[in-house]
Chains A and B, each alone.
Chain A
Amino acid sequence: MGCCYSFFCNDDSSSQAGEPTERTHLLVNPVSINTTVVHANSEDYIFRNANTLPKKTDEQSALNRILQETATNVIDVAALDSHNLQHHEYLERMKHYNVKVQQVMGNNRNALSYKVKLSLLQDIPMPEKVMMSEPINPEDIKLINSFLSSAVASIQDIKVEHKENLVEPFGINC
């Protein structure tokens, strides 16, 4: 039986590695292929180079890879709870963040300030004071209006008189 096992094992490794060795069969035995398929699914990683070069490190890394893949895919609810922050660590980090936040906010003051503003209108702390203040003198309003109207009239009077050509040719002699 031992012989038989080693025979399959050899065949397994040679056929999977894809490289012919001195033990490789010239004619492929269909029965042995069937057995390799069974092996290939579960022990593919481990027996890949089992006979040709039995490298411990390869085997170890393959096993580690399997372990890692399994660990990332498994949802271990019991292990989730294990990562708890210690109280002093929590306080330390909170202090650290306080300082950091102050710094970062200070550095990005310009970027933040216009986004932080809620509205363009500002609160008036004592509205009744503003409401109760005396209205503007009607004569002042008249004065402002007359100045404004004369300003508007003068702006409308501005005219551009063109005397020279607007487009001036430069250095075109030919």
Chain B
Amino acid sequence: MVEEVRKLLQDILQKIQGLHCILITDRDGVPLLKVGTDKAPENALRPNFISTFGLAIDQGSKLGLGKTGTLICSYAQYQVIQMNKLPLIVTFITSDTCNTGHILALQNQINPIISTLTLAVAES
């Protein structure tokens, strides 16, 4: 079953132009599922980079941003789109030209996988 899910993510990866990597991690950045191409930058895959999202939304809520659902960071060459599915974090790493709306629309497709994976984290 894991292979099938991985294949689904791989399919998504191939269909969307500019999408380099899909990462499903826990809140500390430890990956549960990971698919990606070699174009994905190494630094963005590090757990301490990914876990920053959790810290940022926690601190952001103190500033009055409220409960953040999605964080989109746009850089010179890449976009990092992170979704709040706590206790999981979904991270998409794309090129700067990738269609951001398309990535956001993937939520519906990914949600059933996330809800199953949440069990793996919750049980531990």
Report A's interface with B, CB cutoff 8 A: 72-73, 75, 80, 84-85, 90, 93-94, 96-97, 100-106, 108-109, 111-113, 115-116, 118
Contact = CB atoms under 8 A, between A and B. Distances in A.
B123 interface: yes
A116 B28 CA distance: 27
Contact of A96 (B4, B48, B116, B124): B124
B71 to A, nearest CB: 15
Nearest to A99: B120
Interface string B60-89: 001100000000000000000000000000
Given A84-B48, A97-B30, A108 B63 contact: no
Contacts of B112: 111-112, 115-116
- Interface of chain B, main secondary structure: helix
Interface string B91-108: 000000000000000000
Given A94-B31, A116-B4, A104 B11 contact: no
Nearest to A112: B116
A24 to B, nearest CB: 42
Contact of B2 (A90, A94, A96, A105): A105
A106 to B, nearest CB: 6
B5 interface: yes
B47 A112 contact: no
Contacts of A75: 59, 62-63
Contact of B1 (A90, A94, A100, A112): A112
8 contacts: A73-B62, A85-B30, A100-B121, A104-B116, A112-B5, A112-B113, A116-B113, A118-B11
